[in-house]
A and B are shown apart, each in its own frame.
Chain A
Amino acid sequence: GNSVTQMEGPVTLSEEAFLTINCTYTATGYPSLFWYVQYPGEGLQLLLKATKADDKGSNKGFEATYRKETTSFHLEKGSVQVSDSAVYFCALISQGGSEKLVFGKGTKLTVNP
């Protein structure tokens, strides 16, 4: 079946530090990959996406590259801010299979000033 494994954390960083949250996946077919962010008390917001191998998704300084050879979609940001504190979910949709989003367990990020 389809599954997503991500670094569970929690992750605590100082402002302006470099962020990496690892995400690997198992899927049949050719999945589309997503990162969602959930701020405290709020819903899930789509952060970025990639739909085919070697695609790079980017938004608000965050980036992730779809690596088919390593089945990975790691999230990176060069300089985090306090306002980036949230829970980050890696997710996939397997094209041609179930249309549901399959999520990783989430990684809680806390950025200190």
Chain B
Amino acid sequence: AAGVIQSPRHLIKEKRETATLKCYPIPRHDTVYWYQQGPGQDPQFLISFYEKMQSDKGSIPDRFSAQQFSDYHSELNMSSLELGDSALYFCASSLNTYNEQFFGPGTRLTVL
């Protein structure tokens, strides 16, 4: 069965640079979520989209933005990167909201 695809899997950036993370949901899933997981931490919700519209927002810094495109893939744009942004970034998708969410393998971002 098709799973959630995330790219890149690993990303190394310098402070103050920008990064773009991409997420391709499971086919026919209409809702995409982004989570951030620090080392040894539980995942923290950033933002979600339903049918290409932002549907919920969590603790996402103003330096970050995201969108969902017409083909339902989503991109998380991160600017003015800080050392503290180093984390695993997960994308998840679901069929409609409030249903089980299926996670991608994550993008490991390292900010030097």
Question: Cβ of B103 and Cβ of A93 under 8 Å apart?
Answer: no
With A99-B31, A99-B97, A103-B42 as known contacts, state yes or no: A44 contacts B90, CB within 8 Å: yes
A44-B90, A99-B48 known; A49 vs B100 contact (CB < 8 Å): yes
Nearest residue (CB) in A for B47 is A100
Find out whether the CB atom of A99 lies under 8 angstroms from the CB atom of B98.
yes
Q: A93-B98, A99-B97, A100-B33 known; A43 and B42 CB under 8 Å?
A: no
**Complex: A34 Cα to B64 Cα, angstroms:** 28
- Tally A residues with Cβ within 8 Å of B: 22
What residues of B have a CB within 8 angstroms of the CB of A100 in the complex? 33, 45, 48, 56, 58
Question: C-beta contact mask, B93-105 vs A, less than 8 Å → 1, else 0?
Answer: 0000110111111
- With known contacts A32-B98, A43-B90, A95-B98, A103–B103 Cβ distance under 8 A: no
- Which residues of A are found within 8 Å of B31, using beta-carbon distances? 99
Q: Which 6 A-B pairs have the closest CB atoms?
A: A100-B45, A103-B42, A44-B103, A99-B97, A43-B105, A43-B103
A interface residues with partner B (beta carbon < 8 Å): 32, 34, 36, 42-46, 49, 89, 93, 95-96, 98-106
